[in-house]
Amino acid sequence: YWVEHSEGALAIVRKYFNLDTDLDKLASCNLFLDHTQDVELDSDTAVFFVGNSNCTVRVKDWATVKVYCFNNANIRIECGINSYVNIETYDHAQVSILSNKGKCKVYAYDKSQIEDNGNTASIDRKGITRGSVFNGEEVK
């Protein structure tokens, strides 16, 4: 749903999950809303950074992770030794690859910005068509 209606989804989550305890619960489920603390990721993890998240993500050695960045998230990634990191960025999200000791693949959509800082990362800018799964009527 976030891919189809990222701004609407952000508004819903902010409306109903606005206490610190709510943010902790969301983070425990790998949904980081307006998150500002650094995060360490281990294998077989999929995480979402949404809203105004601004943090550094450290991927452990040999880990395999999937990272989604939406809205105005500003994420810095440190890929561990032999790690495999797959990233998708949407909206105005910004991702900066600080180090890459593994394999990092980035799919960039919308006006998202990717900076590899001289680190070897595969970056593929793609178009996106929204509205094919959800039409937006479900939030009215």
The edge-to-edge listing of strands for the beta sheet with 113-115 is 39-41, 54-59, 74-79, 94-100, 113-115
Q: Tell me the DSSP string of 34-102.
A: S--S-EEE-SSEEEEEETT-EEEEEEPTT-EEEEEE-TT-EEEEEE-TT-EEEEEE-TT-EEEEEEESS
- For residue 51, the tally of other CB atoms under 10 A from its CB is 18
How far does CA 88 lie from the centroid of its chain? 7
Q: Point out the least confidently predicted range of 1-5, 14-18, 124-128.
A: 1-5
Give the pLDDT of residue 134.
64
Global confidence as pTM: 0.91
> Residue 129's pLDDT is what?
82
Q: Using the predicted structure, report yes or no on whether residue 138 has a pLDDT greater than 70.
A: no
Per-residue pLDDT reduced to its tens digit, 7-52: 999 999 999 998 889 999 999 999 999 999 999 999 878 999 999 9
CA distances from 54 to 41, 62, 135 (A): 16, 25, 30
Question: CA 53 to CA 61: how far, in whole Å?
Answer: 24
Dihedral sign of CA atoms 50, 54, 55, 56 in order: positive
Beta bridge partners of 74: 54, 94
Q: Is the pLDDT reported for residue 136 higher than 70?
A: no
Which tokens is 90 given?
């949407």
Question: Is the model's pLDDT at 132 over the cut of 90?
Answer: no
